[in-house]
Amino acid sequence: MQLDLSGKTALVTGSTQGIGEAIAAALARAGARVAVNGRRADAVDEAVARLRAVVPGADVVGAAADVSTAEGAASLVSALPRVDVLVNNVGVFGARPALEISDDEWRRYFEVNVLAAVRLTRAYLPGMRDRGWGRVQYIASDSAVVIPAEMIHYGVSKTALLGVSRGFAKEAAGSGVTVNCVIAGPTHTGGVEDFVYQLVDRSLPWEEAQREFMRVHRPQSLLGRLIEPEEIGNLVVYLASPQASATTGAAVRVDGGYVDSILP
């Protein structure tokens, strides 16, 4: 299967590290022009340089903006008015006892994890629909379905993305634009390494700490390991491709079998 995104412009929010950077690299390998987004211009520039190094000949541009604010989203859209593939990846997470999550923290999680994606979808979906082709994706999490006791605010924000995705898919119905949610399982990133060490003995070597985390805190995983970011990127590229033209309004799992369900 040849997944060719030549001639398409893709925007990946929160793509200066981790899953977002891996998604940006995967889209670039498929031939897309990729806009790398992050809040800090220096971090964006560094990520652009890394992507150009790992994907020779890649067409990569920087798009520094804080999309968790209306002003930041507007500035990004002004600088990048046309997008064919929108990957709403930006997000925050962290452990917090349920009864200690303040109103302000709940609001912050919804501003970053939900409203940033809503704003950009509102901005870019009309153009995609007018052109008769486009792809909108939301990077959700197994936590959307299996709400973790140690971070319910994160889980609930990802649950909201499932509804956002399905709703905008109905808005795009019959237009040639597909809208989908990617449910990512426990994934190996720098931020997740920090999170793992919040929950297991910090003196353990990483491989042992990872195994202990999965055994104690994510025993449902059928992989028994953390997913690599590139594995998330592979699914995103497929959903962005012409070959995925009949997949829309879906929540597609790349979770290592973590969610105990026979349905997608």
Residues forming the active site: 154
Sign of CA dihedral 194, 107, 125, 173: positive
Name 178's Cβ contacts closer than 8 Å, sequence gap at least 6: 134, 135, 136, 169, 172, 239, 244, 245, 247, 248
Between the two ends of the chain, the Cα-to-Cα distance in Å is: 22
Tell me the C-alpha distance between 43 and 263, whole Å.
Answer: 39
Helix, coil or strand: residue 141 = strand
Question: In Å, what is the CA distance from 184 to each residue of 91, 92, 93, 108, 244?
Answer: 13, 14, 14, 21, 18
Q: How far apart are CA 186 and CA 18, in angstroms?
A: 12
Distance CA 120, CA 113 (A): 12
> If phi over 0 gives left and psi between -120 and 50 gives alpha, with beta otherwise, what is residue 49?
alpha
| Rounded to 5°, angle at Cα 160 from 258 and 215 | 20
Half-sphere exposure at residue 173, Cβ-oriented, CA atoms within 13 angstroms: 5
